[in-house]
Structure 1
């Protein structure tokens, strides 16, 4: 228990308060719950149920019950606004925020402040213009320091690169001068060979000419016991065989070497082309229905938006005309594509391009659109009726045609759906039922399937198919 006390409280006083809290469940069980307050000999309990919890306000019997009820209503709005879903974990996590919110509404003497929920939110946020200005100045200083640091890093890197460039240039010039001095005191191999051949005839009639043999690259030496150091990239045969044995035991495959992006793209097999439609011309109709109903079930606004898509897969057969059957007497507004002959459609209900020699494009194009706004209930694809009623056992029973859901609220809601159109079949229908609680519902029987979403406090009921039969 977390308690916020404005004055010093003795142990006896604290035990007395604990006794008052302990007596509340017993008094609640003995009452018939016709009121939201209970009077005892010394104090008055003003309470309000919130989901599976009770919000309790203990006052003296001389207090104004009307003001106490108004304070309780404001507290009942404040608690869900701070905690969100009313679970034990959320209440424990927001316990100090709840205390701060109670302090904004109740003063030190136990009197209620003349304040609304929006003002309490503003006070809890504790916004300060001076604090915002200070934070903006600190943020600007931090951004300037970061930008200055980056500029210094770039300057230092440029200086280091320039210094390294100068050192490399100085080293190359020094090596070039050393090579020049070495070459001046050394005779070329050609001059030496010619001098040798002219003086080593040994009496032969024809002097032999000496040609120096080209240098051969030294053969790689085998590793010996005297080698010192570490050789990278030269795996031993024993280690390789050990890894091969492990791979064979685990049924692993060799990983191919990593290649460049261009080579990998070139090596990929060419994917087969998408299989086109076998029909020369394909049509598709899409409609979206948006309905707003009032609490009594009357239609406030019904809007239907539809589109007709055409795609020509065969150039020889795509240069065609589409004869439609529609009626504009019920207030439906039609709009044709700019390349469609509008006069022909309005006169004969025929969709055709202005240029008869050109076929319909192979891509999917909306050639006709229509929209209607009405309040006629005959356009509703599905009728859903809701019958709420209160229960005294603290449970909620939601009956939707053949789905029964029981929730722990003080209301019973019965829903049923009906469909009067013989030429229409609805598939994959999802009905969203708000529950207002986190606890999962108990479903006794269902036609289709359902899923409970505790985050949004809803039950999603999915029906595979609905028809008039």
Structure 2
């Protein structure tokens, strides 16, 4: 049976694993986008080189046809860079046009090729894309611009405004007999008080309790037992002594034991039946009307088998944990709409003892102990103090054996 702390620990580990997977997926997407952009750059470079080579060949042919005898011809070599070749092509084209029009020898361009580092220029990628667009090529990328992989910071949780916080928590331990009957039920409760504001550390807590028949209460050694027994007030023996600030203090405990089945929040029946070469496992639950249960998980152990069990019917959801050999029946909420439910699955023939013990986990915002906080006041002037109170009941160990 897993404790509440172990469950929280496993949830934290699973959350870290999920975060790592998300980061890996984002990194893989970024790598794919970089590869695609690099491919576009290479295609642009090849297209530009082909365009320059074509222009150079055309200009050389023009010069050969129109240059008069003795005129200097323009030649390009493979050692010329793309920028220099482009400049010479421009000069050659100008010379050819000047001679053909009879305007005489061409004038040299006053503006030479730019050299050195240019600040504020467009990125090379944009230059390549623009050159391709100028030639009529469609080079629009089919992906969105890359976004920052740094996640936005989560909003800070709202700070509590109450001066005092109280938690009423109960843990339930139950052992049910598979053939029917309650073997043992034990309930342990605790009230924790935490003062957040030092100015409100000198206080008394007024409570309201029901009959609570069969409950045994015990106050903290520093709490005035007589004041609590006679007036239902939780206060320190020394009224001039403040409660500790910034740390939770257990001020009241209680315990309850019974073998009365009517006190159970939920009862479980399991009927494994062997029929030929298979075993049909029928499970049903029945919950009390006095309490709503959240996050109910009924875990039935299963013997080793090659194939997962076949579920014929299920009120709720199910999951088969093949690694641990456990069939989990999940009911998110049990309230007035579904106080009872059933599930049936088929598995290869097995000994009926293999399906026990059955573990049951659940929580509730209602408690067995009928106790509430009515108000909190300062001992100095009787002024009321703001407070918040949270109730919870957890199944610590709940089994059908």
**TM bucket, shorter chain:** 0.3 to 0.5
Higher relative contact order (CA 8 A, sep 6+): 2
Tell me which structure has the larger Cα radius of gyration: 1
Q: Which has the higher helix share?
A: 1
Q: TM-score, normalised to structure 2's length? A: 0.43
